Chains A and B, each alone.
Chain A
């Protein structure tokens, strides 16, 4: 097996998230219930995956697939859970929206809008009080900032000096005077700065810029034990504008990075193609990118097969449904 080439580390993470969600979209008809894909938001997921250290904790949200893949969760176990199979540890009781991977730093997914934000400051409090050196990453959409608890949490984190990177995955529509269609304030950063949290605007369309910003923020948070806020702005993927996600842009094709296609998604919004363009500009040949992609696709295809083969938990359905609600039960 070849030693992975470091130049492709970022592309590999981005593609892992994208190819995983494409597999989810293909399986869509077989998935009961709601699920969300992360198309267009992979840069922040990959950045946290690259920057996080052992012992750091991540608070994700209902759009959690990319976060978990980039943090290192097993895609076959994830897919089995998303399909509702009774595979340990989550036993089909969680589905897509409550996926957890404690060993990857994701203790739980709260699928309530803004639910993870106060929990992330609790992670930061625990990490600080135990002097572990760890920090918390909190990823949420721009809609979460409309919930009051987001502001309570920003204030508490700032007041008590809690080590957390607030990372707003902002795919809201800006009109120049509003932070998004729902926020009267002129910017997301202004909302963070109102709580004395320093904030930066980052292009989530540019994965390299996102990684650099998350790394800088995480270093500061670790050093100063203060929260930081990042307004990571990205495009809204049109496939999310339906009740269930629909793969309207089709499977990602890295060859579209070679020259403008005339599509905003290809030429401006898709962070995977953006990183492919950066690598091409570094004189990496397209064939090398396609080779990385082929390797990622093989891994996800294998995970899809394994997800259907993993052994389900023994015991009756009633036992699986009802066990372990309280400790000892």
Chain B
């Protein structure tokens, strides 16, 4: 049984469910819940929050790693993704090693939420996609959900799992909507099929999956091929084997990610699929190698817009 719900409402609903189920969860961060203090969680669960901390990302994230190792389940809202660069060390060089170095005796399952991607007119310092850098860290789980269903399942997975995780929330997803089935089992499936088609397949992350779906619809409506679209809701540990199995049988695959191409999840998945499915034609759509310009007209020249994705799909279809 499904109902349509906004993305941010699904996120708040997942948080409430997790808070009810596990008294060790503590929410910390720059706002009570990302961008939606009106969701009521702060009023309903005041003793579960450490809201409005000092502007000390390194200290806060380091503290949350220690708290997680000591048995709390901290969920830290960093806000704009680039703020996490101040607190990079605990996220990339402390939490992910603790399970490995202790031989599994201790783990630090801290959950970090970042608001990522081009918000439009945010400019060079507020529109990064740090998941491209984070995916290089062994032991860290990176989620890139695209729909209310996937953000709901991702939160439930991360807050019941045993690994440190970064939930990459695209800043433009909050007001999108979709169906939500609250009885879906966790863990979340890393590959979420958003559209089915026999001719080719588009593999994308986060907001790019919605743009890819729109591009595929346009192409099909215009008499073009019918394409599958898959959102990679978890980029690490990498689901590339499952993905290669999905690509096998399609003539071509297009990989879309909002990161700059060097080291993006799309680049890595493309390389793995190229090895595993050598007969498929593959194409890559990423943001051009430039900082995000303030002007939205300029921004649209570098990010994967629906139009640019559609062009790539046409080229791939031949």
Residues of A within 8 A of B (CB): 57, 59, 88-91, 93-94, 98, 100, 102, 107-108, 110, 112, 115, 117-123, 125-127, 129-130, 148-149, 152-153, 155-156, 159-160, 324-327, 329
Other contacts beyond A108-B106, A122-B70: 9, CB < 8 A: A90-B103, A93-B100, A100-B105, A107-B69, A118-B66, A122-B69, A149-B58, A149-B59, A149-B62
> Is A127's CB under 8 angstroms from B101's CB?
no
> Is A152's CB under 8 angstroms from B102's CB?
no
> Is A89's CB under 8 angstroms from B103's CB?
yes
In the complex, A108→B94 CA distance in Å?
A: 9
> Is A118's CB under 8 angstroms from B106's CB?
no
Residues of B within 8 A of A (CB): 24, 26, 50, 53-54, 56, 58-72, 74, 89-90, 93-94, 97-108, 138-139, 141, 161-163, 237
> Is A156's CB under 8 angstroms from B107's CB?
no
> Is A98's CB under 8 angstroms from B97's CB?
yes
What are 9 pairs between A and B in contact, CB < 8 Å? A93-B101, A121-B59, A121-B66, A122-B70, A125-B67, A130-B72, A155-B54, A324-B104, A327-B162
Residues in chain A near residue B100, CB distance under 8 A: 93, 324-325
Closest approach, in angstroms, between the C-beta of A182 and any C-beta of chain B? 19
> Is B70's CB under 8 angstroms from A155's CB?
no
Residues in chain B near residue A94, CB distance under 8 A: 101-102
> Is B103's CB under 8 angstroms from A324's CB?
yes
Closest approach, in angstroms, between the C-beta of B75 and any C-beta of chain A? 13
Known: A89-B102, A112-B89, A118-B59. A325 touches B54 (CB 8 A): no
Closest approach, in angstroms, between the C-beta of B141 and any C-beta of chain A? 7
In the complex, A200→B158 CA distance in Å?
A: 42
> Is B90's CB under 8 angstroms from A118's CB?
yes
Q: Which 3 pairs across A and B sit closest by C-beta, in order of nearness?
A: A122-B66, A118-B62, A152-B59
Residues in chain B near residue A107, CB distance under 8 A: 69-70, 98, 102, 106
Closest approach, in angstroms, between the C-beta of A301 and any C-beta of chain B? 26
Residues in chain A near residue B24, CB distance under 8 A: 130
In the complex, A152→B53 CA distance in Å?
A: 11
Task: Please count the residue pairs between chain A and chain B whose beta carbons lie under 8 angstroms apart in the complex.
Answer: 143
Known: A122-B68, A129-B72, A327-B162. A108 touches B63 (CB 8 A): no
In the complex, A98→B101 CA distance in Å?
A: 7
Closest approach, in angstroms, between the C-beta of A252 and any C-beta of chain B? 31
In the complex, A118→B91 CA distance in Å?
A: 12
Closest approach, in angstroms, between the C-beta of A329 and any C-beta of chain B? 7
Residues in chain B near residue A125, CB distance under 8 A: 26, 63, 66-67, 70, 72
In the complex formed, the residue of A with least CB distance to B69 is: A107
Closest approach, in angstroms, between the C-beta of A311 and any C-beta of chain B? 14
In the complex formed, the residue of B with least CB distance to A119 is: B66
Known: A107-B70, A126-B72. A153 touches B63 (CB 8 A): yes
Closest approach, in angstroms, between the C-beta of A229 and any C-beta of chain B? 16
In the complex, A88→B103 CA distance in Å?
A: 7
In the complex formed, the residue of A with least CB distance to B47 is: A129
Residues in chain B near residue A108, CB distance under 8 A: 69, 98, 101-102, 106, 108
> Is A156's CB under 8 angstroms from B103's CB?
no
> Is A112's CB under 8 angstroms from B94's CB?
yes
In the complex formed, the residue of A with least CB distance to B60 is: A156
Closest approach, in angstroms, between the C-beta of B315 and any C-beta of chain A? 37
In the complex formed, the residue of A with least CB distance to B161 is: A327
In the complex, A282→B139 CA distance in Å?
A: 54
Closest approach, in angstroms, between the C-beta of B274 and any C-beta of chain A? 23
> Is A129's CB under 8 angstroms from B26's CB?
yes
> Is B103's CB under 8 angstroms from A119's CB?
no
In the complex formed, the residue of B with least CB distance to A117 is: B62
Known: A107-B106, A149-B58. A123 touches B70 (CB 8 A): yes
Q: Of B60, B67, B90, B98, which is in contact with the most chain A CB atoms at under 10 Å from its CB? A: B67
> Is A119's CB under 8 angstroms from B63's CB?
yes
Residues in chain B near residue A324, CB distance under 8 A: 99-100, 103-104
Known: A102-B105, A152-B56, A327-B163. A121 touches B139 (CB 8 A): no
In the complex, A94→B98 CA distance in Å?
A: 10
Contact of A152 among B54, B99, B101, B103 (CB under 8 A): B54
Residues in chain B near residue A110, CB distance under 8 A: 94
Known: A89-B104, A100-B102. A326 touches B54 (CB 8 A): no
> Is B54's CB under 8 angstroms from A126's CB?
no
Known: A129-B72, A155-B54, A326-B237. A122 touches B104 (CB 8 A): no
In the complex formed, the residue of A with least CB distance to B100 is: A325
In the complex, A90→B94 CA distance in Å?
A: 16
Closest approach, in angstroms, between the C-beta of A53 and any C-beta of chain B? 15
Residues in chain A near residue B59, CB distance under 8 A: 118, 121, 149, 152-153, 155-156
Residues in chain A near residue B60, CB distance under 8 A: 118, 152, 156
Known: A108-B106, A126-B70. A100 touches B63 (CB 8 A): no
Residues in chain A near residue B93, CB distance under 8 A: 112, 115
Closest approach, in angstroms, between the C-beta of B61 and any C-beta of chain A? 8
> Is A123's CB under 8 angstroms from B66's CB?
yes
Contact of B237 among A112, A123, A329 (CB under 8 A): A329
> Is B101's CB under 8 angstroms from A122's CB?
no
Residues in chain B near residue A122, CB distance under 8 A: 62-70, 72, 74
Q: Of B53, B68, B69, B103, which is in contact with the most chain A CB atoms at under 10 Å from its CB? A: B103
Closest approach, in angstroms, between the C-beta of A168 and any C-beta of chain B? 17
Contact of A100 among B90, B101, B163 (CB under 8 A): B101
In the complex formed, the residue of B with least CB distance to A59 is: B66
In the complex formed, the residue of B with least CB distance to A122 is: B66
> Is A153's CB under 8 angstroms from B101's CB?
no
In the complex, A123→B237 CA distance in Å?
A: 28
